[in-house]
Amino acid sequence: MANHAVLACVEECCRRVMNNQIPFGGKVVILLGDFQQTCPVVRRGTKADVLNVSISQCNIWPSFQIARLTTPIRNAADPDFASYVDSIGEGEGPRINLSFLTHTTNIEDVIGFVYNRDVLNKPITCLRRCILAPTNAQVDVYNSAVLDLLPSTSRQYYAADSLEEHDEVM
C-alpha cells in the first residue's frame, strides 16, 4: 500500500500534463493492491500515523470505484489453500506453539549464533546468513556489533539522491 502523498503527486502531475483541474487530468487511473500487504512506512509512527498516510485517507480516494477480487487466481487450483491464506491475512488462522524453540533477548547470543567466528573468518558464508529486525534502529545496533567483531576497519560510503548537471560533470 502506498503513502497517500504518492497518489496526490500522481494526481497533480496528471492535472498539470493535461492542463486542467479535473481529477487526474481526466485520465482513467487503475490502482491495484492489497490492503493486507505492507503498510506505508512512517518513521517512529504509531498505528494511527500509518493509517493516516494510507491512500484510503487521500482526499481523492472517495472518487475511486473499488472492485474486489473474488476468484483466487494464484491458487485457483486449490481453493481451500487460497481461503486459508486469506484467513491468515484477516488475522485468523492456526496458533502454532513455538515454545520448543530456543530463544534469547541477549544481542551477543543472537550474533554469536548467526555470525560465529567460523562464519566471520569465511566472508562468503556471511552472504547466506542474516538477522531480521523490525526497526532500522535495531538493524543499526546489530550491524555495529557485528562490524566490531571484524578484524578490519569499516568504511562508510554515502549515496547521493541527486544528479549533477551534465555541464558540471565535465
Which pLDDT value is given to residue 22? 92
Say what the alpha-carbon torsion angle 30, 36, 40, 43 is, to the nearest 10 degrees: 180
- How much is the pLDDT for 130? 92
Nearest to 31 by CA among 70, 4, 59: 4
21 has pLDDT over 90: yes
Q: What is the pLDDT of residue 78?
A: 83
Question: pLDDT, tens digit, for every residue of 78-104?
Answer: 888 878 877 877 777 777 888 898 888
| H/E run at residue 147 | helix 136-149
Q: pLDDT digit string (tens) for 38-84?
A: 777 788 888 888 888 888 888 888 888 888 777 667 777 888 887 88
pLDDT at residue 28 is higher than 50: yes
Tell me the pLDDT band of 169, cut-offs 50, 70 and 90.
Answer: very low
pTM over 0.95: no
Strand partners for 3: 54
State the pLDDT at residue 163.
52
Q: How far is CA 7 from the centre of its chain?
A: 17
In this prediction, residue 34 carries a pLDDT of 73
117-168 pLDDT, tens digit per residue, is 999 988 899 889 999 988 888 999 999 999 999 888 878 888 766 655 544 4
What contacts 60, CB < 8 A, 6 or more positions away?
7, 8, 11, 23, 24
Amino acid making up residue 58: C
**In this structure, what are the phi and psi dihedrals at residue 54, rounded to the nearest 5 degrees?**
-70, 160
